[in-house]
């Protein structure tokens, strides 16, 4: 069923033109992107069902894979699924631009607020290094160090230091996420922090923090007095 088959006052494109984007539901906005549904559902109905399966959460939608969408929903082929996931990624990057306006890291909370938009929706572990000038302002964008599985990721400390030298940084902050939602550091996390701290000192750099991030909370080695 195509959007054009709907009554004129129910077509999301026309409603957006007349009433503005804020008047549309998330399902209607997504329906504009995919254009059509299937033989049983309009694009709006299809996206309402997809969002219902995600608990109404756009964040949960963004965590779905291409395979999740194409295999589980009639009418969502690769092109439509890619369009949906691209829209989710654009939303995430927009949030990062807003966060990037905050250019100073003077506390663990600052670090958390900068990195949360980038990492909150990840279903796997990633680690990033942030590089600071002497005045605690950020030098460039956060630099991804590693991507891993659900419960771990391998970190090459040499890569952290190399980028610090390239950027001529005075200090380094390290952040990784726990997809489990548990902020408690593992023994591997503790050992990594020790290696990072020692390596930074050898290079006359300051490790200002190692943050373990989840959606809604964080663990700071700095706040715990461990760096």
Tokens, residue 30: 């997504």
Threshold 0.75, pTM exceeds: no
Does residue 157 lie within any of the structural domains?
yes
R_g (Cα) of the chain, nearest Å: 22
| pLDDT digit string, tens, across residues 16-53 | 998 888 889 999 999 999 988 898 998 999 999 999 99
Does residue 225 lie within any of the structural domains?
no
Does residue 227 lie within any of the structural domains?
no
Contact predicate 157/214, CB 8 Å: no
Last residue of one domain, picked from the residues 96, 120, 154: 96
CB under 8 Å to 225, separation ≥6 — which residues? none
Instruction: Tell me how many domains the chain contains.
Output: 2
Q: Which domain holds residue 180?
A: 102-220
Q: Write the burial class of residue 9 (CB in 10 Å: 0-12 exposed, 13-18 middle, 19+ buried).
A: exposed
| pLDDT digit string, tens, across residues 149-198 | 665 678 899 999 999 999 999 999 999 999 999 999 999 999 999 999 99
Tokens, residue 40: 């049983």
Is residue 83 located within the same domain as residue 131? no
**Helices and strands per DSSP (H, E), number in the chain:** 9, 5
Last residue of one domain, picked from the residues 44, 68, 96: 96
């Amino acid at each position: 069923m195509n959007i054009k088959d709907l009554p004129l006052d129910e077509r999301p494109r026309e409603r957006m033109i007349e009433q503005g984007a804020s008047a549309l539901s998330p399902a209607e906005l997504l329906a504009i992107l995919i254009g059509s549904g299937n033989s049983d559902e309009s694009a709006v109905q299809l996206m309402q069902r997809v969002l219902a399966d995600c608990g109404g959460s756009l964040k949960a939608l963004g965590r779905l894979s291409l395979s999740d969408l194409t295999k589980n929903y009639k009418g969502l082929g690769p092109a439509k699924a890619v369009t949906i996931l691209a829209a989710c990624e654009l939303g995430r990057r927009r949030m990062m631009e807003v966060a990037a306006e905050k250019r100073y890291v003077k506390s663990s909370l600052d670090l958390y607020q900068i990195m949360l938009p980038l990492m909150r929706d990840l279903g796997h572990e990633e680690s990033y290094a942030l590089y600071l000038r002497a005045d605690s302002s950020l030098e460039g964008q956060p630099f991804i160090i590693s991507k891993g599985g659900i419960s771990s990721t391998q970190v090459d400390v040499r890569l952290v230091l190399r980028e610090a030298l390239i950027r001529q940084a005075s200090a380094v902050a390290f952040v990784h996420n726990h997809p489990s939602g548990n902020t408690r550091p593992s023994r591997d996390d503790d050992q990594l922090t020790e290696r990072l701290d020692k390596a930074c000192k050898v290079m006359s750099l300051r490790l200002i923090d190692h943050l373990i991030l989840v959606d809604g909370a964080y663990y700071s080695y700095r706040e715990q007095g461990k760096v």
